[in-house]
Every structure is written in C-alpha cells, then in structure tokens.
Amino acid sequence: MCGISAIYSSSPVANQLYDSIIALQHRGQDAAGIITYDDRMHKYKGLGLASEIFSSEQLSLLTGNIGISHNRYPTHGEFGHGEIQPVWTSVPYGIAMSHNGQLTNYDELVIEITKEKRYLNTTSDSEVLLHMFAKELDKNGQPNNSEEFFNHLCDAVSSIFHKVQGAYSVTSLIIGKGLVVFRDPRGIRPLVRGEKVNDNGTTDYIFASENTMFYALGYEPKGNVLPGELIYIDNDGKLFSKRLVKEEFNPCIFEYVYFARPDAILNDVSVYRSRLRMGQNLAYAWKKKYPDVTPDIVIPAPSTANTAALSFAHEIGVRYSEGLYKNPFIGRTFIMPGQDKRKKSIRHKITPQETEIRDKKVLIVDDSIVRGNTSREIVKMVKDFGAKEVYFVSACPPVQHPCYYGVDMPTYEELIVNSKNGSDERILPDILGVDILMYQEIEDLVEAVTRIGDHHIDTPCMACLDGHYVVNGRKVHDPI
C-alpha cells in the first residue's frame, strides 16, 4: 500500500503535492518523493515522514505546474534510497512514474525488459512498470500533436494491460507532453480524481489514492479513474480519456477495513459509512451468537476501529468508551517495517485508561487481526489494568492468505490464524488470551462495503480472506 497523487495546474504544484503527501501519510511512512516539471524535471525524495524530508527551500526548487508525488510503503524490492518513488527514465521521453500496487509477473517482465537492453537499477517492481511503459511508448515514434500522442498512449497502456499482471494505479508525467494516469483492469488499488475551475476559466486536475486532500486544496471530487481507464492531460490542459478494457471490478476490501482514511470516498463508497455498517453487522451477529453475554463497555482498538466500535456499541446498547488512548504521533503499526519495531511501538503508542477498564467486562473491537501482535498486546494491557473479562471482536474475517497486490503480509507463517493451532477456533482465543473471540463473516463484510451507494463494484478483492486471487483466477498456494 502506498499513496500517490498527480496534479496539473495553471500555477506551481509543489506545495499542493506536499500537502497531498501529508494527507496520504497514513498509506506509507517509509519514504516520499515529488517530481515536477517545467522545461525539465525537478526531483526531491528521502526516507522518513514527509515533514522530515521536505523543507520550504526544497519545495521552492520544485518548479512547474505539473507534478507527481509518492508515499512509500515497501511491498516489493529492497528498502533504500534507490527504491523511493517517483522513478524516472529518459528514453524515449523524460518519463517519471508513481505506482501503487504490486506486479505478480515481475520475473517475466524483467526478462522482457532486459532483453531489450534496458537496465534496472533496483529490485522495485515500479521501475519495471516504468520501463514497460517507456518501451511500449517507444514503438510508435514521435507524434505530431496531442491527439496522435493520446493514440500512442492508448497502444502503450493497452499493451501494459495485456502483459502486466497484478495491481497498479499509476500516475506519470512526460516531459513536453503532460500528465498520464491509468488503473489496472480490475481496479484493485484506488485512484480518485478531482477538478478545480479557476477564475480565468482554466481547469486544474488532481488524481490521488484518496480524496482526503481535495477539500483543503479546493478540488471538487469527480469520481474515480475507472478500472482499465487511461487519462491524459496535455501541456495545454486538454483532457483525453478512454476505458481501454472492461473486466470485473474487484477493488481491495482491505482499503475499507484498514488502509484508507475514514473520510475518504473510494470507488463511490464512503469508507466511514462502510465501517459503521461493519460494526452494525458485527453487532447483529454478536446478539445472535451470544444473546446472554453483555459487556459493560465497548472499547475500540484505536483508531481505525473507532467507527465500527461506535456503531457496534450503539447497536447492542452498551456504552462506547475510548478506554485505550492512542498517541497520534507514533506511526501505524501494521505498516511499520520489521517485527521488532512493530512490537515495541504498540505499548509506546497505546495507553489503557484504568477508570474505564477496572472490574469491567470489556469488549474490544478491532479492525482486523493479521499478525496478532497488536491484538495480543492490547488484550494483555486491558487485563493488566483490571478487566474482569475480555471479549474481542474483529470487523474483518480471519486474514488467512498473503496479499500479492500491494499489501505487506507476504507469508502464511506470519498470519496468526496459520500459527500452530491458530486455525482452531477453540484455541485461538487462548492464543490471544480472551474469553470470547468473534470474527465478522465474509458475506457481512461485503454487505457492509457494498450495501449503499451508486458504486460499480462487482466483487471486492478479498483474496487475503478467501484465497481467491482475482487476477487470472489464481487459487491459494498457486505459485506467482
């Protein structure tokens, strides 16, 4: 999971791109970068949080009215300065690219690229995607105008859709040509669009992983880049778009469970509302399964689960309490690199409030249980602070399979349900140390995401839950 954004404007874009990185910081905290262009490219990138990387002096050097940015959260490739996006090449044009997602046929694409004497500097799949795009664009020669260039782009991106498997939402800038965005045919990773009409009648465009910065920057939401769609804005601000392929629309369900900010609207579905519905469905299931068990208090594992816990508490008629205080200045544990760092950060991040917990039957709502580290630690903390009984409910069904589409949960062994005895429902509560453990059912989660809204989702990707890999219908354990 990463965060990307791209802006075409009638005024300099560097500060807006910086604001976009800040608004998407929750999607990746390892590194960030911005590339703008006027007569040439201007780049700056670094490791860490955006606020640690960019200064106003550096931003003032990123001149130009077109640019792209990236928040990095590594899913493929090593972790170093070379992997920080945007990536760029100078053949056949100066092309820069930001990519959110993960390619599943990386090895075969590397062979195709290196056969054509293009050389890779990193192990990043985003660099491979950049070279595939450049290679395909190189086939048609120099265009005479924007219409002709758009046709070249259509050919190049159609070929990418044909050859490149996996998840990819892409923003790209091309020197002398303009801004290009496209989204893989299944629309696995999000990509939304917005517009702003200026006083002089010109239109500014923004594309981003989430619409979380639109209001602050003055953009009106204009829906999504559709799965399989290519959009090109030329140097003069003329917009071209075409949906090149139409397949099943399978956006990632985990965006709604965990990744996206609650104020985001992705694929025409409000993340906040979907989380309210997750809590509601979970409460219906609780009342059915445990009609005689009523907790004294409902506490979210902060803060992604706050929304689901709120509606859960409302639905079962029990007080909602913020009995676990979260320090907002420490990063999200799920996306922190390295297990040690994750374990250490949970206690530094969350503090129980004894007055809310002591001698009470506490029901904790969490968004999901992946590795189980956070859940185990939270349960221990709540017990340390005197809870009489602890019930644990997860707004997401058991995460049982790795994700190959851009989320860092790469091995079966790392998932708690696959740990020794972890798949045994009678034993997993013991591993977590709780009196009752209840998961959301898959159909209830899908219902929560798709219940309302003028959306066009066919079936969300939930490969990490049900083992059905939506790209090429891969099944559990198929090598990819």
CA 446/CA 451 separation, integer angstroms: 8
- What residues are paired with 393 via a beta bridge? 365, 438
Q: Total number of residues binding ligand SF4 (CB under 6 A)? A: 11
CA 186/CA 436 separation, integer angstroms: 37
- What residues are paired with 269 via a beta bridge? 266
405 binds ligand SF4 (CB under 6 A): yes
Cβ 396 vs Cβ 439: under 8 Å: yes
We find the least distance from the C-beta atom of residue 375 to ligand SF4, in angstroms, to be: 18
346 binds ligand SF4 (CB under 6 A): no
417 binds ligand SF4 (CB under 6 A): no
Comparing CB distances to ligand SF4, the nearer of 179 and 463 is: 463
Instruction: Kindly name the residue from 2, 252, 403, 461 that is annotated as catalytic.
Output: 2
Comparing CB distances to ligand SF4, the nearer of 28 and 33 is: 28
Q: Which of 407, 434, 448, 471 binds ligand SF4 (CB under 6 A)?
A: 407
Q: Tell me the C-alpha to C-alpha distance, in Å, between residue 93 and each of 5, 42, 82, 172.
A: 21, 15, 21, 12
Q: Going by C-beta distance under 8 Å and a sequence separation of 6 or more, which residues neighbour residue 199?
A: none
Q: Tell me the C-alpha to C-alpha distance, in Å, between residue 3 and each of 208, 255, 338, 356.
A: 7, 12, 20, 36
CA dihedral 14, 268, 277, 71 (to 10 degrees): -20
Comparing CB distances to ligand SF4, the nearer of 387 and 463 is: 463
Comparing CB distances to ligand SF4, the nearer of 296 and 414 is: 414
Mark 14-53 with x for binding to ligand SF4 (rule: CB under 6 A) and - for no binding.
----------------------------------------
Mark 237-276 with x for binding to ligand SF4 (rule: CB under 6 A) and - for no binding.
---------------xxx----------------------
We find the least distance from the C-beta atom of residue 189 to ligand SF4, in angstroms, to be: 7
CA 121/CA 343 separation, integer angstroms: 33
Q: Is 461 a catalytic residue?
A: no
CA 454/CA 195 separation, integer angstroms: 20
461 binds ligand SF4 (CB under 6 A): yes
- What residues are paired with 362 via a beta bridge? 297, 390
Which of 121, 20, 274 lies closest to 2 in space, CA to CA?
20
We find the least distance from the C-beta atom of residue 437 to ligand SF4, in angstroms, to be: 21
Binding site for ligand SF4 (CB under 6 A): 188, 252-254, 403, 405, 407, 461-464
Q: Write out the catalytic residue numbers.
A: 2
